[in-house]
Chain A
Amino acid sequence: MSVAQFLTIFISAVFIYNVILSRFLGLCSFVAISRETKPAMAMSLAVMFVTTMSSIITWFIYRFLLIPFGLTYLRTISFILVIATFVQFVEMVIRKISPPLYRFFGIYLPLITVNCAVLGVAVLNVDMFFINGKAIPGSFYYSVFQGICVGLGYALAMLLMSGIRERLDLCDVPKAVKDFPLAFIIASIMSLSFLGFNGFKF
């Protein structure tokens, strides 16, 4: 466990292998909610929270339930069920405790259950930080940190995209590429510029 390792995780999760622009996880929400900055911001915060929490939960499940009992093939089922339950639970808690907060990002929470980014992070953590069915030293911290960084990468792409699309609303674009097609073309150019981070090493 070293600082360099954490820096590598940070740079690769936020910039080089950005969840949206390079791994294509969470694309549906990315094109659907990035029309304006404010909802985009709320969605990003919600995603960041859920990726972090689900990294923690799935790590414990994998390490203390699936590995000891030899059930690693149940990874997909158990992860998605736990994430779905957790998201539902958080939604209920927020609705009870803080109605303003619920209005701010409550409607985005159910969407996150089927957001590929969340399950993607859980699967990636298991693939990267468990070797031959054993946790590598410090794997818990790496997993949680990767969860946070993936959320940050999502927020970054989301904010850039929504800023660009707000401006584009004022432009006269061809009817055929309005909305979705144009969003993908912009994302393609953004992804190209993120390619510049490739080869960044510590």
Chain B
Amino acid sequence: MKKYFYEFLKGIIKENPTFVLVLGLCPTLAVSVSVINGIGMGIAATFVLLGSNVIISLIKNIIPARIRIPCFIVVIATFVTITEMTMKAYSPALNRALGIYVPLIVVNCIVLGRAEAYAQRQTVLKSLFDGLGMGVGFTLALILISGIREALGSGKFLGYTLTPRYEPAFVLGLPSGALLVIGLLLGFFNVLKNRKE
């Protein structure tokens, strides 16, 4: 049990997909305008990661090594399509807000990266926990980035006004603000890492 818990936990801090592995930044930056979008994207990506990790580790023995990447992509794309259709049916507003970034989960480097580096070598249960951990780590990173952007860029958190006196810095809601926040956060985590060493 303990080793499964480790697989789950490593995705959150030690191998956080966004801040440590620096993978899958396109959706991270694009949807992090508000926390609610960030959470929606995080859940969608977690579902895809979980599904693709489990299926790929199940079929790892019957995939020929040479064409494994196309096989992985088909599995991932299937889960993305399921996510997209579910989201369209049950939460059209979120689907509109996330726009083209929902189908683009297919080319999110985290998903393919975990399939290639982890799921094709490990057991099903381990892959499941790995996918879950990576997904939760990704969601937490999204909440952190979108929390900073929403709080400073529009003075709100999850849609609630934090303080009426604050004059929002609009630049953080713009694309350039996203790049700035991720740059500074990566620098900040580097400082923490250097200090530890």
Instruction: Encode contact with B along A81-94: 1 for CB under 8 Å, 0 otherwise.
Output: 10011000000000
Show the binding face of A for B, using Cβ within 8 Å: 21-28, 73-77, 80-81, 84-85, 113-116, 119-120, 123-124, 127, 174-178, 180-185, 187-189, 191-192, 195
Count of chain B residues near A, Cβ 8 A: 42
11 extra A-B contacts, CB within 8 A, seeds A73-B85, A120-B100: A24-B26, A76-B77, A76-B81, A76-B84, A123-B104, A177-B186, A180-B186, A184-B182, A184-B183, A185-B184, A187-B183
In the complex, what distance in Å separates the CA atom of A189 from the CA atom of B22? 20
Q: B109 in the interface, Cβ–Cβ < 8 Å?
A: yes
Q: Looking across the interface, which residue of chain A has its beta carbon closest to that of B27? A: A24
A23 touches B73 (CB 8 A): no
From the candidates B23, B78, B80, B182, name the one contacting A28 in the complex (CB within 8 A). B23
14 A-B contacts, Cβ less than 8 Å apart?
A21-B179, A22-B175, A24-B27, A27-B29, A116-B26, A123-B100, A176-B191, A180-B186, A181-B186, A181-B190, A185-B179, A185-B184, A185-B187, A188-B179
Q: Interface on B for A, CB 8 Å cutoff?
A: 22-23, 25-27, 29-30, 69-70, 73-74, 77-78, 80-81, 84-85, 100, 103-104, 106-109, 112, 171, 174-180, 182-184, 186-188, 190-191, 194
Q: A85-B70, A188-B177, A188-B180 are in contact. Are A75 and B103 (CB under 8 A)?
A: yes
Q: Which residue of the partner chain A has the closest CB to B193?
A: A176
On chain A, the residues within 8 Å of B70 by CB distance are: 81, 84-85
- 3 closest cross-chain pairs (CB), A and B: A184-B183, A188-B179, A191-B176
Q: Across the interface, which residues of B come within 8 angstroms of A85, CB to CB?
A: 70
Q: Which residues of A contact B182 (CB under 8 A)?
A: 184
Contacts of A191 in B (CB 8 A): 174-176, 179
What A residues does B26 contact at CB under 8 A?
Answer: 24-28, 116
Residues from chain B with a CB closer than 8 A to the CB of A28 are 23, 25-26, 109
